[in-house]
Chains A and B, each alone.
Chain A
Amino acid sequence: GQNIDQPTEMTATEGAIVQINCTYQTSGFNGLFWYQQHAGEAPTFLSYNVLDGLEEKGRFSSFLSRSKGYSYLLLKELQMKDSASYLCAVRPRANQAGTALIFGKGTTLSVSS
C-alpha cells in the first residue's frame, strides 16, 4: 500500500529552528514535495527533492534519503507567519496515467512569540 507519515502537531518559538519529519512507503518514487497551507487557504509549493541530499531555499531546506524512505523540512529563523500546516507528498510515478501525488495528513506548526 501507500503510506506517508508525519507528526500531527508541532510547536516552536519565534526565531527558533524546527524540523518536520516525513516517512513514506509507496509503490514507486518519482519525487517528494513539501507544501505549506495556511488555515482556510490552498496549499502552496515549498520544495521538491528527487535525489538524495539537501535542497536549500532561503529559510527553508528539505532533505531526502530514498534508501530510508525519509525526508525532513527544516525551517530556520521562525516567524509568526510560519504558523501553518506543512504537507509532505510523494509522486510514485510520472508516466501518463500516474502523475498524482499522495499526501500525508499534514503537520500543524504553531509558532509563538
Chain B
Amino acid sequence: DAGITQSPRHKVTETGTPVTLRCHQTENHRYMYWYRQDPGHGLRLIHYSYGVKDTDKGEVSDGYSVSRSKTEDFLLTLESATSSQTSVYFCAISDLQPSGYTFGSGTRLTVV
C-alpha cells in the first residue's frame, strides 16, 4: 500500500511526441516534486508544487510543464520529447517533516 505511485513505470516514445507522466499520492501531503536522475548529474529538480494549482520551476524546467488540479495528482508533461529527455523520472512528496521526501518508484523514459 504505497503512499505514492508513478505511472507508467517504463515508456518508450518517439522524438517530437508529447508524453505525460503521472504521480499519485494518498498521503495528503502538500508538496510534490518532479526530479530527473541522470548518470553524472544526480537528481535535478524539474518542477514542484506547493498546493493545488500552485507550481514553480526548478533547475531544469525547459521543455517540461506540470499541472496539479487536485492534491493527489501531479502531472509532468514533455511537450515535444527529445532524446536529451531520456532519463529516470522520480516524483517525491513531503510535508516538511524531518523525514524529508518520500519518493515514488520512478519512471524510466526512453526517447528514440
Contact = CB atoms under 8 A, between A and B. Distances in A.
B64 interface: no
Interface residues of A, number: 24
A100 B99 contact: no
A31 B104 CA distance: 22
Interface in B32-52: 33, 35, 40-45, 48, 50-51
Contacts, number: 60
A112 interface: no
B45 A106 contact: no
Given A87-B43, A96-B50, A48 B98 contact: yes
A105 B40 contact: yes
A36 to B, nearest CB: 11
A44 B106 CA distance: 12
B99 A99 contact: no
Interface of B: 31, 33, 35, 40-45, 48, 50-51, 54, 56, 58, 90, 94, 96, 98-106
